[in-house]
Amino acid sequence: MHMFVSRQVALPPGVLHNDFQPGISVAADVVALQGNALEGEPAFARPLARLLSSRQKFGIWRQELVRTKPQQCDIPHGTLLENEDESYEEVYFWTCKILRYGIRWSRQRLYGTVLQSISTFPVVSEFKLEYFSESNGYGNVSDLERAFHEGEVHPLARDRHGRSLFHIAVIFSCGDICRLLGRLGVKPDADFHGAHPLDLGSMRGVYNVSSKTIDIMRFSQDLDFVQSMENARRKFYLEMPAEAIVWVWRNRAQIFFGQNTSDLASVCISSLLYLLRVPNERDSATEYLKGDFASDLRTSLMESTLRFLEHLFVFDYGLYHLTRSFESFQNFKVGEAFVDVIQQLGIDGEAVIRQEMDKYLGETFPTRYFVWPFRELPQRRLVAGFTVRGWRLGWEWIYDQEEAGYLLVSEYSELAAEQLYAKEFPFHGRVWDSVKELESSLRQRRIRFEGRMAVKHRKELARKGQKQPRCRMPGTWID
């Protein structure tokens, strides 16, 4: 038996037929975006599959149509329908034909109600982020749920890269939105690049609130989260706060149920060592290294399997350490914190440090982030030694001794390589410290520019004898 449809067409996936009426698309039983499609290439639903049910034996047929309202009626051939998701409507027609008599009724639903029998979704250029940035005062899960019911946002929508709302919710650490999408039937599938939504949970950034990060990790317990550890890009670090890293370690039996977690301890230790660069996370990371990971860290240091100098000083992994990892003065605080950790472990710290320093004897390391296109930072080298105050472990800049002003910049690095990063008096603060002040100054600059243009316009009118009359009400100032 065939399904009762208004038009039956057979199109290959991803091809737009000229006979399609704009604004009408037939709902498909199986709808899939082409994973190998190029960026900007349109993706459309596959032809409607035949559905057999017991009701068809009695002459009851079902017709499903999805009506859309694009902004432009004349859509060029092969154009990506970016703004088609603004107005949607689902119309259902049930037709019962018994002998020569028939009954017909229809029911309308918005896209806020997701049915299991329909998997059609729109393709948008990008998602609106105001529903996910609650910390910035834009919206929350209630606003997103209201947008679903009003038809403004489709829960099953995907962007041109194949990302779903699950990806955006995990990026902003919105566990409540993830649960809402799960109740609506949204699957946390991978995008065109193979990125799973819950893979993003392991690289949330150290400045995310730990409770939100843990909420995302707890939500992933019932799903396949173990692929985050198998991913080569996540082999070194879990980019999340120290509290979230320890939560993963303590709940590894539930998160990685039935999986081998032998490498998880080394990944967590490497991540905590890297967090020693962050001033706000340094104390927490130090305490966790002394507590939960003391035995594993002691074994790794004594067997010389942990390249701790790379995690502490060499690798510039992630941009959130940009303002601290380039300061030679601050990195010695990182070395001081690590020396305090190994002293609490009861091992010979001097032998461990000297054995690791021998691996980098005579090596220099470039700074992997450029400051300006016309300027590069100098090389760096690791230094370690015992002073009156204890071990001095860190790195320092390598300047050319033959250059003019070498004695000055070697004593005050803030005048040379660190002039954009120095914060202490009397040097100017970092350019990234006050983003709001920068936005405010740009706004004031634009207002002053508009004021100057208005004055210039009035002068032009006065020169032509077309001066506009001003208000002469009592008490007003007249220029």
* Token pair in block for residue 123: 């393709």
**Mean of pLDDT values over 110-116:** 48
Cβ pair 39, 161 in contact under 8 A:
yes
Q: Is the pLDDT of residue 354 over 80?
A: yes
User: Distance of alpha carbon 14 from its chain centroid, rounded?
Assistant: 28
Residue 437: strand, helix, or coil: helix
Average pLDDT, the chain: 64
Considering only residues 284 and 110, tell me which one the structure prediction assigns the higher pLDDT.
Answer: 284
Count CB atoms within 10 A of the CB of residue 110. Answer: 15
pTM: 0.49
> What pLDDT shows up at residue 211?
62
> Which of helix, strand or coil describes residue 91?
strand
| Region 244-248 average pLDDT | 81
The per-residue pLDDT for range 3-52, each reduced to its tens digit, is 333 333 333 333 333 333 333 333 333 333 333 333 333 333 333 334 44
- Give me the percent of the chain exceeding a pLDDT of 70: 46
Which residue's structure tokens are 């730990």? 210
User: How far is 392 from 335, CA to CA, in rounded Å?
Assistant: 7
Q: What are 439's two structure tokens?
A: 């936005």
Residue 367 to residue 397: CA distance in whole angstroms: 10
Q: Give the pLDDT score at 424.
A: 47
Q: Is pLDDT at 186 greater than 70 in this prediction?
A: yes
Question: pLDDT-derived band of residue 159, with 50, 70 and 90 as boundaries?
Answer: confident
The mean-pLDDT minimum among 27-36, 104-113, 164-173, 375-384 falls in: 27-36
Coil/strand/helix, residue 391: strand
**How far apart (Å, rounded) are the C-alpha atoms in residues 288 and 241?**
12
Instruction: State the amino acid at position 429 in one-letter form.
Output: G
Residue 127 phi, psi dihedral angles, 5° rounding: -90, 155
Residue 468 DSSP symbol = P
Question: What Rg, from alpha-carbon coordinates, does the chain have?
Answer: 31
> Both tokens of residue 108?
């309308």
Average pLDDT over residues 349-373: 69
More confident residue, 333 or 407: 333
Q: Which of residues 378 and 202 earns the better pLDDT score?
A: 378
Alpha-carbon distance of 326 to 320, in angstroms, equals 12
Q: What is the pLDDT of residues 382-435, one digit of tens each?
A: 778 777 677 778 877 777 777 777 777 667 665 566 655 444 444 444 444 555
Closest CA to 18 of 28, 31, 9, 26: 9
Among residues 324, 386, 398, the alpha carbon closest in space to that of 351 is found at 386
- Percent of the chain exceeding pLDDT 90 equals 0
* For residue 326, pLDDT beyond 60: no
What pLDDT was estimated at residue 47?
Answer: 35
**Residue 405: CB partners within 8 Å, gap ≥ 6?**
none
Pairwise pLDDT comparison (429 vs 149), residue with the higher score: 149
Q: Higher-confidence residue: 97 or 247?
A: 247
The answer to whether residue 129 scores a pLDDT higher than 70 is yes
Cα→Cα distances 243→249, 250, 284, 289, Å: 10, 11, 8, 12
Question: Which value, to the nearest 10 degrees, does the dihedral of the CA atoms of residues 237, 239, 240, 245 take?
Answer: -10
Q: 3-class SS at 267?
A: helix
Angstrom distance (rounded) from CA 49 to CA 248: 44
- Token readout for 422 is 């120095």
CB 391 within 8 A of CB 353: yes
Question: How far is residue 455's CA from residue 436's CA, in Å, rounded to a whole number?
Answer: 29
> Can you say whether the dihedral through the CA atoms of 456, 457, 459, 464 is positive or negative?
positive
> Does pLDDT of 300 surpass 60?
yes
Q: Where are the alpha helices (DSSP H) in 71-125?
A: none
Is-contact 243 200, C-beta < 8 A?
no
- Alpha helix ranges (H) inside 313-405: 322-325, 328-344, 349-357
Q: Lowest mean pLDDT of 71-75, 301-305, 452-456, name the range.
A: 71-75
Region 303-307: mean pLDDT is: 82
- Of all helices (H) and strands (E), which one includes residue 242? helix 242-250
User: Could you tell me if 190 and 158 are in contact, meaning their C-beta atoms sit under 8 angstroms apart?
Assistant: no
Name the burial class of residue 478, with classes exposed (0-12), middle (13-18) and buried (19+) by CB atoms within 10 angstroms of its CB: exposed
pLDDT at 193 over 50: yes
Its sign, for the CA torsion 434, 438, 443, 447, is positive
* Strand 88-98 to 390-397 pairing: unpaired
Judge contact between 164 and 197, C-beta under 8 A: yes
The strand pairing partners of 109, in sequence order, are 90
More confident call, 96 vs 393 = 393
Q: Which range in 38-42, 216-220, 260-264, 343-347 is most confidently predicted, on average pLDDT?
A: 343-347
pLDDT tens sequence across 261-281: 677 788 888 888 888 888 888
Check residues 462 and 321 and name the one with the higher pLDDT: 462
- pLDDT tens figures, 51-64: 445 555 555 555 55
More confident residue, 24 or 223: 223
Please give the residue that has the higher pLDDT: either 94 or 394. Answer: 394
User: What pLDDT, in 10s, does the model give residues 118-127?
Assistant: 456 677 777 7
Between CA 230 and CA 171 the distance in angstroms is 20
Axis crossing angle, helix 264-275 with helix 294-302, rounded to the nearest 10: 90
pLDDT of residue 414: 56
